[in-house]
Structure 1
Amino acid sequence: MTARLYVCSGLDPDTPDTAFVVLVVDPDGTPAERAVAALGSYCYEGDGAVYLVRTDGWAERSLRDGWLTVDVAVRPEALRQVGVDPLGFPGRSAVDPQALLVLSARTTADPAPSAHLAEPTAVFVAGPGVPLDDLVDAEDEWPMVLAPPPART
């Protein structure tokens, strides 16, 4: 099983029609999924979510030919902090070659609405049998929020 990627609305009660990219990783899944799941303990809490500091990791997104791809890039130091060996991830970020590509997921996406997605990517940690609606509706399931990549310097 690999990470599941969705585009959905209803995550933000203040803007219920805003579409978000949602990634669901299995804490017992692939090494990439386990690494992303582990990052949740390295985040800071606030407003019903946990946030990974953009200088430690981010979500790189691209939309081409009806496919939305999300790549999770993380700095080696952040991976070490959660007990993940960075050597297991040889891929490099296109934005910052010092950051490692830890996970890549893709899904089909309608180009029109997908061009107007909210900037952050929400990440939920759950096994493959847990439906997305259950995660979104659960008050005790806080998503990890990944910002877009930092600006190139």
Structure 2
Amino acid sequence: MARLHVRPGVDPDEPEVPVVTLRVDPDGAPGERAAARLGDHCYEGDGVLYLVRTDGWAEHALDGDRLTVGLAVYAAVLTRMGVDPAEFPDRSAADPGAVLILRAEAVVDPELYARAAPATALLVGAPDGTPEEGGDWPVLLAPAPGGEPTSGQ
């Protein structure tokens, strides 16, 4: 099961800035397996992988203290990864042309979340710790197109 956290200390360059992190199991449910493969479609930069927003993004919705994060990816990207987009019937709120491959929820501190970096860090097979402890590079996902995190959805 994907695990969602908001915590500082993830980015060694800005340890005081909280980061929304989503940890997935590469052998988990279909959405986790698809998310785990996103790194193959990223570009490298300074110890992280970047998924370009033209391929996918992370959608955030905060309702009180419950944060929901959805990973949206275009069907063409899934097809290139060898994943059947039909496995994922849910669509992105930001762009219905994108497929939601994974959704995770967690209770978070709204004040901590309000200070979080805009990108979401996707960690694959990492233990419950910082990305450095996981050994693999995190995948950074931009916020949804045209959007700041939403509240009350």
Same fold (TM over 0.5): yes
Matches within 5 A, 1:42-57: 42-57=41-56
Moved over 6 A (4+): none
Question: What is the distance in 1 between the residues matched to 2:47 and 2:134?
Answer: 8
Name 1:60's counterpart in structure 2: 59
Alignment match, 2:40: 41
* One-letter amino acid matched to 2:118: E
Indicate conservation of the 8 Å contact 2:7/2:112, yes or no. Answer: no
Deviation of 1:138 (Å) = 3.2
Aligned length: 147
Counterpart of 2:127? Answer: 131
Q: Aligned AA for 2:128? A: L
Counterpart among 115, 136, 140 of residue 145 in structure 1: 140
Q: Residue type of the partner of 1:64?
A: D
Cα displacement (A) at 1:79: 0.6
Alignment RMSD = 1.4
CA distance in 2 between counterparts of 1:79 and 1:138 reads 28
> Secondary structure, in 3 states, of the residue corresponding to 1:32?
helix
For residues 18-97 of structure 1, the aligned pairs below 5 Å read 18-97=17-96
- Provide structure 2 residue ranges, at least 5 long, that are not aligned to the other structure: 148-153
- Relative distance call for 1:27 and 1:53 in structure 2 (3 A) is same
Shift of 1:116: 1.8
Q: Measure how far apart 1:131 and its partner are.
A: 2.7
Contact 1:42–1:81 under 8 Å retained in 2: no
Once the two structures are TM-superposed, the CA of residue 82 in structure 1 deviates from its matched residue by: 0.9
Distance 1:137 1:47 in 2: 13
For the pair 1:112 / 2:111, whether they are aligned, the reply is: yes
What residue identity is the alignment partner of 2:138? P
How far residue 139 of structure 1 moved from its aligned partner, in angstroms, is 7.8
Q: Contact 2:127–2:133 (CA<8 Å) still a contact in 1?
A: no
Q: Aligned to 1:87, what secondary structure does the other structure show?
A: helix
Separation of aligned partners in 2, 1:7 and 1:82:
28
Q: Is the 8 Å Cα contact of residues 6 and 112 (structure 2) preserved in structure 1?
A: no
Structure 1: state its 5+ residue gaps: none
TM-score, reference length from structure 2: 0.91
Shift of 1:132: 2.0
What is the distance in 2 between the residues matched to 1:123 and 1:65?
Answer: 23
